[in-house]
Amino acid sequence: MLRVLIKWIEELDEIISKPSKYFKSRIEPFIVSSEDDNKRTPEYLTYEAKQRLLEEFTQTRKEYAEWLIPHKSVLDSIFYYLPEYIEAHRKDFDFLPSKIVESGLTVSLGSAMTSDTVPLLLNNQLGYLFQTLKRAFPLSSNLIDKQVVPFLEFVPFSVMDLLRAKCSGTLDEIKQVLNKLEKHSDIQLIRVKNRLDTGNRDFLINFSFTGCNLICELQVGLKDGKSDPKESMRDHFNHFIYELCRSRFGPIPECTLIIHNQTEIGTYFRKNTHPNKFKTNRLAFEPYIKDNQINIPGYEIQDISKSFFCGNCLEPSFAFLSFMAGYKKTGTAEFLCAQCIYQQMSTE
């Protein structure tokens, strides 16, 4: 499920950063004008309505970038303090080799914080899109029928490679695969893309099964002569590097997710890592109360809906699980959790 959300985040990010390209390439209707699913009538946005949306996206691009900064800072904060975090918890696993402990704690922390950040970022993206639509088409606007606004399908989920397979063969074998897919009664072909003239040297086929809305992907590569195991290994490795580089969250968080999903190392270390005792003033900060509000010089308050890694106690703080919001040092990836702030105020 997490992989589905990440794919959707990447798709939304592409739409928001390149809206004009999205409008040109999209062929699906934007509006359905009935609440009844059996009477859904497709309609299309007018040219004027599309232009108004493009203007709104252009004007709010800076705002969108600012929405993303806190989530990037969260992941930055993990790896900024990762060496200290490992040293603080090494004693919990002193019976294991040092390299195993380092890998396990990295996977455990990285996968947990990334998994928590993904739905929060997606929620922000959807909120940004909703606000953009509201600003583009206010109640006074005549660019769009008010009756169909609630049924605006502006961002359908259209990722086509959640289920993906790859095979290779001669040109005659590729033709047989295409013919069988085309004639199969339970398969509907959606797109066939000839990529023989690219570095992929394959056909990209998208299809769906009868009664299922999920779109699958099949890559059928052209095989010349005898298969080379080394070439196959290189292809797999190159694709792995490609996936790491294109990941929305960067290569290290992506690696921690992959390892966590394929092994038990992350789960084991997460279950057996004991919380640190709080280290008051590991970071120098002086909280005080003014106008019924906690203030910390050089720090700004964070939304309680954001997860982060506290640089003072070296522990993750997850969204909505704290009794009050944390604080972030201006211009850095340094965070303070509510418990550290409360303890510091208690000692003073």
pLDDT in tens, 95-114: 999 999 999 999 999 898 88
Which 8-state DSSP code applies to residue 16?
H
Average pLDDT over residues 15-25: 77
CA distance 311 to 321: 18
Residue 254, domain member (yes or no): no
Return the CA Rg of the chain. 25
User: Is the sign of the CA dihedral 127, 249, 70, 13 positive or negative?
Assistant: negative
Condensed to tens digits (0 to 9), the pLDDT of residues 49-59 reads: 778 888 888 88
Confidence band of 172 (pLDDT split at 50, 70, 90): confident
Number of separate domains in the chain = 3
**Residue 44: its pLDDT value, please?**
63
- State whether 99 and 197 are in the same domain: no
The rounded Cα 89 to chain-centroid distance in angstroms is 28
- State whether 115 and 216 are in the same domain: no
CA distance 114 to 203: 34
Average pLDDT over residues 126-145: 73
Residue 321, domain member (yes or no): yes
Confidence band of 277 (pLDDT split at 50, 70, 90): low
Tokens, residue 34? 């009935």
Residue 316, domain member (yes or no): yes
- State whether 141 and 205 are in the same domain: no
CB 222 within 8 A of CB 233: no
- State whether 146 and 8 are in the same domain: yes
CB 121 within 8 A of CB 71: yes
pTM of the model: 0.72
Residue 244, domain member (yes or no): no
Residue 325, domain member (yes or no): yes
Polymer length of the chain? 348
Question: Could you list the residue range(s) of the whole structural domain that residue 58 is in?
Answer: 2-151
